[in-house]
Amino acid sequence: MDANYMPFHPSPRKPAYAPPPGAVDAHCHVFGPGDVFPYAPERKYTPCDAPKEKLFALRDFLGFERNVIVQATCHGKDNRALVDALRASNGLARGVASVGPSVSDAELHDMHEAGVRGVRFNFVKRLVDATPKEIYLGIADRIAPLGWHIVVYFEAPDLEGLIPFLRQLPTTIVVDHMGRPDIAKGVDHPDFQRFVDLMADNPNVWSKVSCPERLSVDGPATNYADVVPFARRLVDRFTDRVLWGTDWPHPNMTTHMPDDGALVDVIPHIATDAAKQKALLVDNPMRLYWS
List, for residues 87-97, the tens digit of each pLDDT value. 999 999 999 99
pLDDT at 130: 74
CA 31, 36, 39 angle in degrees (round to 5)? 50
Contact 208, 181 (CB under 8 A): no
The answer for residues whose C-beta is within 8 angstroms of residue 53's C-beta and 6 or more apart is none
Contact 207, 285 (CB under 8 A): no
The answer for residues whose C-beta is within 8 angstroms of residue 230's C-beta and 6 or more apart is 178, 181, 183, 187, 192, 209, 215
Q: Percent of the chain having pLDDT more than 70?
A: 98
Give the confidence band of 131 by pLDDT, cuts at 50, 70, 90. Answer: confident
Q: What are the angstrom distances between the C-alpha of 129 and each of 29, 126, 132?
A: 20, 8, 10
Q: Percent of the chain having pLDDT more than 90?
A: 95
pLDDT at 53: 98
d(CA 100, CA 103): 6
pLDDT at 40: 96
Average pLDDT, the chain: 96
d(CA 20, CA 147): 27
pLDDT at 126: 61
Contact 224, 213 (CB under 8 A): yes
Query: Residue range 161-175: average pLDDT?
Result: 96
Nearest CA to 233 out of 272, 285, 266, 278 is that of: 272
Query: Residue range 77-101: average pLDDT?
Result: 97
Nearest CA to 201 out of 252, 164, 147 is that of: 164
pLDDT at 89: 98
Nearest CA to 24 out of 92, 125, 105, 124 is that of: 92
d(CA 229, CA 280): 16
Cis peptide bond prior to 21, omega within 30° of 0: no
pLDDT at 224: 98
Amino acid identity of residue 285, one-letter, is P
Report the catalytic residues: 247
d(CA 73, CA 42): 9
Q: State pLDDT tens for residues 181-229.
A: 999 999 999 999 999 999 999 999 999 999 999 999 999 999 999 999 9
The pTM for the full model equals: 0.96
d(CA 64, CA 23): 5
d(CA 86, CA 173): 22
